[in-house]
Every structure is written in structure tokens, then in C-alpha cells.
Amino acid sequence: MFGRRAEAQPSFPLLDGPLRPNDALEEAEAIPVAEPHDMCIAADGSLLVSSGASLLRMNDWGDGGPVRVAEFGGAVTALACRDDGLAAVGIEGEGVKVLDADFAVHDGLYETDTRPTGTTALVFASNGDLLAADAGRDGGAYPYTRELFADSGGGRILRISENGTTTTVASQLRCPHGMVETSAGSLVISECWASGLRTTGPEAGFNELPGNPGRIHRRQSGGYLLACLSRRDPLIDFIRTEEAFAARMMAEIEPEYWVAPRLSAQADYRYPVQSGATRLFGETKPWAPSLSYGLVVLLDTDFQPGASLHSRANGTRHGITTAVEWRGGIVALSRGSGELLRVKGEHP
């Protein structure tokens, strides 16, 4: 008989109210980008986007697409831009590097011996320090799904000063994937596999999100944009309580076929979802129990949802890791489809 974890899982929230499904992401304008991970807005207003081991730059949405400005020895997994033109990049297998305004490596700044093993997000704090989200233990390939079934969180947030002094802001996190500094100076952290937001200040954190959150960014008009890698599923939450079953699944089955969130909407008979629940007359149903999904949540200044953008189960623009406001619209990055998505217009 399979054993069950003693810890209780949070109640399962529904996609309703301001989170009611729509097709905003599926109908958005798109620009293809190979192997995207993250993006940030540079000091000159251009958009920097990671593409595999390359760093791309785009001046405006309609200027012909992004162009390569730098190349590295590993995949660029996280980006952050400083107001004076500096940029920080997280590089798989190499840690964090800082670039000058010409995209050359700037030696001597933020160099630390405490190298993150899996950098998922970078943020320049108001005091000039560099904050790095580290997925922690060797959890396998991104998005570190093995951490989803671990007994405890192995992620952490590092604070790195310009001279390299490094301290740990938070630890034992379940795959921290984003963070933002509030006007009060506290830090709000998105925990991907805890399906919630944790705070170091007086703000109320919560773990009742309907998705697995990625990065979080400020909105120009106030509030925040929260990208979600996938939608939560009650079957996944149940299996997390079945420790022996989860251990056997990870030992005997390839990771891409685990009962776990996925970044892309791909059809394969080996996936652990019943076809009758997914397809009707040969077509995927929008409300199907898909293990991948596209979701951006628009939060107010108190981190409460006010609206949302979706690519539903029958869409392809899933695995949203980042969303920012840029050039009069919301630009989201879809890992599942390998695209930059632009949703124009006013949003509450």
C-alpha cells in the first residue's frame, strides 16, 4: 500500500471570477524565439530576451524581430536590467555574470563564490544589490520537476552586493521562480511548486493560486504581472501526498511522462491523461484536464487578482515564464510554443 505524506495540501482553487478562462494569449500577436527563458526591459527601453545561449535585443514590436547581441557558454536562464545600463544574466553551469551597456562581461561586479546551481530569476534591488533565485538542489532539467515531489524545499534567495558579499535572504523554498521588491522594501517571492507567494514583509502571502507561478514584475500603472508555468491539477496535488507512488514513478518512468506539470501542449499516447477526458470528436476540449496551460495573472497593489490572460487546454501558448508591460501592451514569453506574445490594449 502506498504511503501518504502527513502534511496537508492546500485547498484546490478554481479558475473563476477574475481568473475566468479566455483566449487572450492564444489570440495575441506572436514573434517566434527559439528556446526562450526570460526577458527584461533595458535602460534604453529596448527589450532583452534570452534564446538558448544567446541574448537577443528588440527596439520595438514591429522593427523586424529581435537580433542577437551576445552569446554565452550555456543557456541564459534569467535576466535583470539596471537603470544605468548594466544587465545581469544567469548562465546554466556558470552562475551569474554582469554585462555593460555594450553587452560585454563586466568583471569585478557581483562576483561571488556562492554560485547558484539553478538560477531562475534575477532582480536588482533598490539599494543596488543583486537578488538571485536559486532552484537549489540538483533537481534535473528545467523546470526542476523533481523538486515538486521532494520532502522539503531546496530553493533559496541570495542577495549579492557589488563587492561580492553574499547572504541568504530565504531558504527551503519550493523552486523559487520570481521575486519583486515592494514599495515598502520587502520582497515577495513566487514559489513555483508551492503554488503561492511568500513575503519577507508585512504583506499577506498565500498558497491558493490556481497555477504554478513563474516570474513576477511590476506594472507601470501599479500592481503586478504574474506569469504561470502551468495550471494546477488535483491529480498532481494528490500524487504529491503519495510518497511511495511518487518515488516509484520517478524511478521507473522518464520525466516527460510523469504526472506533473508540463510546459508544452504536446499529444502523446504515453501521457498520463485519459483520452476520453481530453478529446471530443478528435479535438482537444478547452476545459480538458491538461497538464500544460498558459496563464498570466494581473495583480493589484495588494497582490490580489483583478484579471487574467489565458491559453486554454486546446491552445499551444503554454508554459508562460515571464510577462512585462512594454510599448503599450503586455508581452508574455511562452516556453511551450517558443514565442513572444503581445496583448495590446488597456487591462484592469
**6 falls within a domain:** no
User: Degrees (nearest 5) of the Cα angle 189, 23, 331?
Assistant: 50
**232 falls within a domain:** yes
Residue 50: the pLDDT is 97
Q: Say how far apart CA 229 and CA 32 lie, in whole Å.
A: 18
Q: Say how far apart CA 250 and CA 287 lie, in whole Å.
A: 28
**3 falls within a domain:** no
**240 falls within a domain:** yes
Total H helices, total E strands in the chain: 3, 24
- Range of weakest confidence among 97-106, 138-147, 214-223, 241-250: 138-147
Residue 316: all three cell numbers together = 499551444
Q: Over the chain, what is the mean pLDDT?
A: 88
CB 216 within 8 A of CB 121: no
Residue 34: is its pLDDT beyond 90?
yes
Q: Which residues pair with 89 in a beta bridge?
A: 79, 97
Q: What is the CATH number of the domain that holds 253?
A: 2.120.10.30
Residue 275: the pLDDT is 52
Buried b (16+ CB within 10 A) or exposed e, 17-54: eebebebbbbebebbebeebbbbbbbeeebbbbbbbeb
**9 falls within a domain:** no
**137 falls within a domain:** yes
Mean pLDDT in residue range 17-29 = 95
Instruction: Report the share of the chain in percent with pLDDT over 90.
Output: 65
In the chain, the number of structural domains is: 1
pLDDT digits (tens, 9 = 90+) for 211-255: 999 999 999 888 999 999 999 988 898 999 999 999 999 999 998
pLDDT digits (tens, 9 = 90+) for 268-296: 666 666 554 566 556 777 777 788 999 99
CB 246 within 8 A of CB 239: yes
**189 falls within a domain:** yes
Q: Which domain holds residue 259?
A: 17-344
Mean pLDDT in residue range 38-44 = 97
Residue 3: the pLDDT is 42
Which residue in 209, 211, 114 sits closest to 159, CA to CA?
114
Which residue in 152, 74, 161 sits closest to 119, CA to CA?
74
**7 falls within a domain:** no
Q: At 72, which amino acid appears?
A: F
